[in-house]
Chains A and B, each alone.
Chain A
Amino acid sequence: MSQSERNDLDDAIDRAAQQLVSREPPPRLHAAVMADIRAGSKAGSDVWTWRWALAGMSAAAAIAVTVLVLVWQMQTQRPAVFTAVSPGLPASPPQAVATVAPKPPSPSPSPSPVGRHEGRMEIAPPPIAQVAIAGPEIDVEKIQVATIPVADISVADIPVSPIQVTDIENDRPISVSTIGTDGK
């Protein structure tokens, strides 16, 4: 292909491409645009306002649904089960789970009162560590803790030595001299 033929083809391509896009816009285009803008500015803005309003409402609805789902998930979460086991004691069987009511915090620092009762020493459960759980509310009533097995503790009887007390009647009587009878 000679150079002049190449140029002819280039020219043909340019002409063809320009013919495809070199149309003048119809005169009614400008008039239609300005009519839309002038007369339709209010209606058009109404349309756009509605579109924005609809978009806003859709977004708000989506956010609301998301929040509701999150709240529902948090509320339907199973309450946490805390099993307090004293160190060195066997773990309790799973059926020995009791529900305990929450106790008000005691001001006393002695959390393990010991009492004697039929040869068994009841050891109060160790204080449950306060677990920080992120969330709006924790239903404390539903927290279950396992019963803590208590080992038998045998306590020997305390030997008490007898105390001898002298009878009062055997004491020597106290002699008291009569006042004013000494002859002075």
Chain B
Amino acid sequence: MSTACVTDGELVEHARTGDTEAFDELARRHGAAVYRAALAALGSPSDAEDIAQEALVLAYRRLSSFRGEASFKTWVVAIAWKRALNLRRRWWRRRPLEDERGSLHEPVEGAPSAEQALIASERDRAAKQLIQQLPTRLRDALLCVATTEHSYEELAVILGVPGGTLKWRVSKARQLVKEKLAKRGF
């Protein structure tokens, strides 16, 4: 079956009948969004990969429960988000104080990643640090919006909060980071 021009809804219907090719296309279309949502919640690429894989496989097995109230993308990203939060809570139980201090995300300076090489200015690095140190609810909102994968309405569904609350959290997160950047002289 050629899946290039097929809608998500049609692919879901095919996948429900056991057509793995249809789900292959769905995973190809939305795998990145699922991965980025997990990355936004966890901050760790390897953990995000694990969670994204789990979420996509779980979505395939639970296709029968997909009622189409939201888009397939929103639905599968919400699955990944919830699983990522569950993993994060398990982390908190093991090391709650570390997370509160913002060490859930590894410091960018110490991480020998390609990401670090792309950071051009000291201000951007400081902004990253400050975002990582935000309270989790504010950080989640800001990073999910930053994925640019979803509208505010979709994100509100994924995060399970009212749209107004989501907007307030994003605004508050930006305000806190800006204030701290200003205190550091930027």
Which residues from chain A sit less than 8 Å from chain B, CB to CB? 1, 6, 8-10, 12-26, 29-30, 32-34, 36-38, 40-41, 44-45, 48
A-B contact count (CB 8 A): 118
Whole-angstrom distance between the Cβ of A28 and the nearest chain B Cβ: 8
Q: Which residue of B lies closest to A32 (CB)?
A: B53
A21, B127: Cβ atoms closer than 8 Å: no
B61 and A21 within 8 A (CB): no
Residue numbers in A under 8 Å from B174 (CB-CB): 10, 13
Closest 10 CB pairs of A and B: A17-B146, A25-B35, A16-B127, A16-B128, A12-B127, A33-B56, A21-B40, A36-B57, A9-B178, A18-B146
Q: Contacts A20-B105, A44-B57 given; indicate if A29 touches B35 (C-beta within 8 A).
A: yes
Bin the interface of chain B by size. Answer: 35 or more
Which secondary structure dominates where chain B touches chain A?
Answer: helix
- Enumerate chain A residues within 8 angstroms of B182, measured Cβ to Cβ: 1, 9
A33-B27, A33-B57, A45-B61 are contacts. A15–B36 as well, Cβ < 8 Å? no
- Which stretch, B88-96, B115-123, B151-159, touches the partner chain A? B115-123
Q: Which of B52, B132, B147 contacts A29 (CB 8 A)?
A: B52
Q: What distance in Å separates the Cβ of B183 from its nearest Cβ neighbour in chain A?
A: 11
Given contacts A19-B124, A23-B39, contact A33 B146 (CB under 8 A): no
Closest to A17 in B: B146
Q: Which residue of A is nearest B36, CB measured?
A: A21
B131 contacts A17, CB within 8 Å?
A: yes
Most chain B Cβ neighbours within 10 Å, of A8, A20, A45, A48 = A20
When chains A and B are docked, how far (Å) is the Cα of A12 from the Cα of B178? 9
Task: List 8 interface pairs A-B (beta carbons < 8 Å), by A numbering.
Answer: A18-B148, A19-B119, A19-B124, A20-B43, A23-B39, A23-B48, A29-B53, A34-B27
Contact present for A21 and B31 (CB under 8 Å): no
B168 within 8 A of A: no
**Interface residue B72 (Cβ < 8 Å from any Cβ of A):** no
